[in-house]
């Protein structure tokens, strides 16, 4: 279930914004025009215009094989299948990203609601949002757009 009223401590929000502001040089190396030419339209819209795919539209939501989920733009490894779970929301969900894989920033695009966006650390592409209604051990739900992910079956 969504927890749309999630509150984030101010100190955590400021830290997230500061981390996002320090974008890796590799993220600046590819222009938006280059990403637009390289990626399918739905992927570009989600990742670089911060769109959202329709729920239950991604085959990755029901993927159960072992493997690694990478960024659909730059292929940075983001999540292990070991942390994937069925949240019932219609989007692939994980309870923890791989170390050093993501950046977060505040999303205030919906009036009276503050959410936390998740972005790829390498290319800064928008992946989805993180909520505090996930399973143990973290209590977090990284709710990702399937078009922003690339699945690599194998060892997780």
Domain-embedded: residue 63: yes
What residues form DSSP beta bridges with 105? 117
Domain total of the chain: 1
Domain-embedded: residue 116: yes
pTM for the complete prediction?
A: 0.81
Average pLDDT in the 9-28 region? 48
The pLDDT assigned to 28 comes to: 54
Domain-embedded: residue 27: no
Residue 74 among the catalytic residues: no
Task: Report the distance separating Cα 86 and Cα 62, nearest Å.
Answer: 8
**pLDDT tops 50 at residue 53:** yes
Domain with 127 in it: what CATH number? Answer: 2.170.150.20
Domain-embedded: residue 23: no
Domain-embedded: residue 4: no
């Amino acid at each position: 279930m969504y927890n749309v009223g999630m509150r984030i401590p101010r100190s955590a929000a400021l830290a997230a914004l500061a981390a996002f502001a320090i974008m890796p040089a590799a993220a600046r190396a590819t222009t938006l025009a280059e990403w637009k030419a390289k990626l399918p339209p739905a992927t570009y819209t989600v990742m670089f215009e911060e769109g959202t795919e329709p729920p239950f539209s991604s085959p990755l939501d029901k993927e159960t094989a072992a493997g690694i989920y990478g960024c659909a733009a730059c292929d940075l490894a983001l999540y292990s299948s070991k942390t994937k779970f069925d949240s019932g929301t219609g989007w692939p969900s994980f309870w923890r990203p791989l170390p050093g894989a993501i950046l977060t920033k505040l999303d205030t695009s919906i009036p009276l609601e503050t959410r936390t966006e998740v972005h790829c650390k390498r290319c800064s592409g928008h992946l989805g949002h993180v909520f505090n209604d996930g399973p143990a051990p973290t209590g977090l739900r990284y709710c990702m757009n399937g078009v922003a992910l690339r699945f690599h079956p194998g060892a997780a």
